[in-house]
Structures are given as structure tokens and as C-alpha cells.
Structure 1
């Protein structure tokens, strides 16, 4: 682990140096993501200008859910975004063969090959939304609550990564899984809102099949009084570990099934 931590740090420093060579592009990327995410918040604000609550959930409670989802997604976006182009940039052109002959874990190499700087804007927006909600909700914040919130955000990011890894690994069989990943990822937009507004089928899919519900809503209920979902929310770190484990097993099966496509 120490070796991989040092190696990742070297990759990370290299990416930062490259980014700083094109500072204007770096800043524009951050700003564009920041504005896009801000538009979504603006839409939610407009909706609540016409209603007092959404199925019993107030504006700041919705913002709190949104903030957890946004911050967790941003962590995945910064450090694991390269999974999206596994088939397109590595398997299809034959570049994955180059990774396989190197003395490092192939998954580690793919992840370390890219740091998505645009995610900084997403992190900033997520934190702004989260802090705004936190100071406007009747919640007493102590060290234990803040540490629990950090754990929930990290678990959220891990679940986003696990889902992407699972479907990215399909590239070993179908060469390019971006269409499938995109279709699945759009489901995560549902989790920016309370799961209680959806019917049972949607809740089941987003809880137990593709566990996006654990990236925002269920963790949020640990802080917002809602006894119906609190016990489920406590499972978020466990779901994250299980999801990552399953996704990594699929990745390893994909490696065994992999055969070079050439160039």
C-alpha cells in the first residue's frame, strides 16, 4: 500500500504540473462545471418558490441531500473518471496491453493515468451547497457528527466509483461500455431528491440493484430526523464496501477474459 501511495503521488504531481502549463484551460474547466451545477441548484430554488415542501421535505433538506450527492460524485469525478474511457482509450486501440506488461496493478494504472481537474469546481459547488444547508437546518454539529458526515461522503464517492467500475469492466467483453455507463449514470440524478417521492419499484432499483440511494438520501437521513430510513442510512459504508468488492471481482473476471484488439 505504501508503494502504491507513493507511486500515485508521483502520478498526481505529474498531472498537476501539466494542468498548470495550461492554467486558463484549468480555470475555465472549473468555472464551467461550477456554473453547470449552479444551474441545477437554481432550478431547485425556482421549484421551491412555488411550493413549501416536497412530500414533506423542505428546501434546505433537499439541498443537504443534494450536497452529499454532489460532493461524493465530485470525489469520484476527480480520481476515478478515467474508468469512463477504459474501452475507448485503452482496450479498443490496444493500449491496455501496454499497461498489462508493467509491474503495477492494471486498475491502479488506469486510475492513476488521469486526474480530472474540472472536478474541483464540482467539489466547491458541493461544499457550498452542503454548508448552506447545514447552517440552515436545526442540527447540532459536533466533531462526531462532522466525522460521520465525512464518512458518508467518502462512502458516497466509493459507491459512485464501484458502479462505474462494474459497468466499465464490461468493456473487456464488449470493447466499449460508455453507452451503458451513461445510461446507468443518469439514474444517479434521481438520488438528488428524497427517495420517498418515488414508487416502490424505483426505490428498490436505486437501493438494492444500483445503490445510488446510498450516495445521498439514506446518509442524509442520519442527520435529518426520519426514523423510517435511519437504520438503512447506517448501512451506507457497508454498501460501499460490498459494492467496491463486487465491482473489483467483475474487473478481475474481465482481465481473465481480455484478449487484445490490436491497433
Structure 2
């Protein structure tokens, strides 16, 4: 474990040096997230200018859920974004063979070779939205609440990563599963809203099939005493652990099936 920590630090420093060679591009990447996420928040604000609640959920509660989603997604986006390139950057051109001949875990290499600066902007916005909406909800932040927030955000990021890893692994059979990953990722937008505003079918999928519900709504519900979903929210770390375990086992199955593209 210590060896991999040292290796990741070397990868991380190298990537940061590369990004700092183009500082304007780095800053534009971070700033662009402010515009993108700000537009989404503005849309929610416009909706609530015409209504008081959506199925009993207020604007501040919606913002709080949105903040948890952004914080978790930013962790995945910053440190695991390279999973999106597995098919077109590694398998299709034959570069994955280079990864396999090194005496280091292949998944570790794929993950460590990229740090995405856009995730930093998302994390900052998530914190701003979180601490803007929390006071209006009457939330009190003691040591236990802060610890639980950290656990929930890390679990959220782990679930995002696990889902991406699972569907990225399809590239071992499909050569490039990016379209599938993108289609699945779009469903995560549903998790930024309360689950009870959707039909039973969508709630079932986002809870038991692709557990995006545990990336935003359920973790946020733990802090909202009147949400009615605190008993479900406590399972978030367990769901995160199981999701990562299943995705990694599927990854190992994909490695055994990998034959190369002949490029």
C-alpha cells in the first residue's frame, strides 16, 4: 500500500507540472465549471420563482441535495476521470498492452495517469452551495455531522467511480464503451432531485440497479430530519463499498477476456 501511495504521488506531481505549463488553460478549465454548474443552479432558482415547493421540497433543500451531488462527483471527476478514456485511448490504439507489461496494477495505472482540473471547480462550487443552503435549513454542524458529511461525500464519489468503472470495463469486449458510459451517466442527473418526485420504476433503478440515488438524495436526506429517508441514507457507505467491490470484480473479469485489438 505504501508503494502505491508513493507511486501515485509521483504520478500526481507529474500531472500537476504538466497542467501548470499551460496555466491559462488550467484556469479556464476550472472557471468553465462555474459557468456550467451556475447555469444549472440558475435554472432551479427560476423554477422556484414560480412555485414554493416541489412535492414538499423547498428550494434550499434542493440546493443542499445538489451540493452533495457536486461534491461527490467532483472527487470522481478529479481523480478517476481517466476511466472515460479506457476504450479510445488505451484499448483501441493498443496502448493497454503497455499498461499490462508493467509490474503495477493496471487499474491503478489508468487512474493515476490523469488528474482532471475541472473537478476542482466543481468541488469549490459544491462547498459554496452547501454552506449557502445549510443555514436556511437550520442544520447544526458538530463533529459528528462533519464526520458524517465527509463519509457521505466520499461514498458518493466512490459510487460515481464504481458505476463508471463497471461500464468502462465493457470496453474489453466492445473496444470502446464510451457511448454506454455517457448514456448511463446522464441518468445521474435524476439523483440531484428528491426521489419521491419520480415514479416507482425510476426510484427502483436509481436505488437498486444503478445506485445514483446514494450519490446525492439519500446522503443529503440523512441531514434533513423531516425527509423521511434517514433510514435509507445510513446504507450509503455500505452501498458504496458493494458498488466498488462489484465493479472491481467485473474489471478483473474483463482483464481475463482482454485479447488486444491488433493495432
Shorter-chain TM-score range: over 0.9
CA distance in 2, matches of 1:155, 1:39: 26
Q: In 2, distance between residues paired with 1:115 and 1:253?
A: 26
**2:181 aligned residue:** 181
Partner of 1:43: 43
**After superposition, what is the alpha-carbon deviation per residue over 1:155-203, rounded to whole angstroms, capped at 9, x for unaligned?**
0000000000000000000100000000000000001110010010000
| Matching residue of 1:3 | 3
Deviation (angstroms), 1:34: 1.4
**What is the CA-CA distance between 1:33 and the residue it aligns to?**
1.3
| CA RMSD of superposed structures (Å) | 0.8
Q: Equivalents in 1 of 2:26, 2:234: separation in Å? A: 37
The within-5 A match list for 1:144-183 is 144-183=144-183
Cα distance in 2 between the residues matched to 1:215 and 1:170: 22
Give the equivalent residue in structure 2 for 1:102. Answer: 102
Aligned to 2:27: 27
CA distance, structure 2, for counterparts of residue 235 and residue 65 of structure 1: 17
Separation in structure 1 between the aligned mates of residue 232 and residue 184 of structure 2, nearest angstrom: 22
Deviation at 1:5, TM superposition (A): 0.7
- Aligned to 2:55, the other structure's residue is in SS state coil
Distance in 1, Cα, partners of 2:87 & 2:71: 27
SS for the counterpart of 1:221 is helix
Displacement of 1:53 in angstroms is 0.8
Structure 1 residue 227 displacement after superposition: 5.8
Measured in 2, the distance between the counterparts of 1:184 and 1:7 equals 31
Q: Deviations over 1:128-178 (max 9, x none)?
A: 111111122111211110110110000000000000000000000010000
CA offsets per residue over residues 9-31 of structure 1, 9 Å max, x none? 00000011111110000001111
Partner of 2:221: 221
Q: Which residue of 2 aligns with 1:13?
A: 13
Please give the secondary structure, in 2, of the residue aligned with 1:114: coil
Deviation >4 Å, runs of 4+: none
Change (3 A) 1:25 1:227: closer
Task: Note the residue ranges of structure 1 that are not aligned, 5 or more in a row.
Answer: none
Matches within 5 A, 1:217-256: 217-226=217-226, 228-256=228-256
Secondary structure of the structure 2 residue equivalent to 1:116: coil
Match runs of 1:18-97 below 5 Å? 18-97=18-97
Aligned equivalents of 1:225, 1:54: Cα separation in 2: 18
Give the Å deviation of 1:228.
3.0
1:196 lines up with 2:168 in the alignment: no
Secondary structure at the counterpart of residue 183 of structure 1: helix
1:89-133 CA-partner distances (Å, limit 9, x unpaired) = 000000000000001000000000100011111111111111111
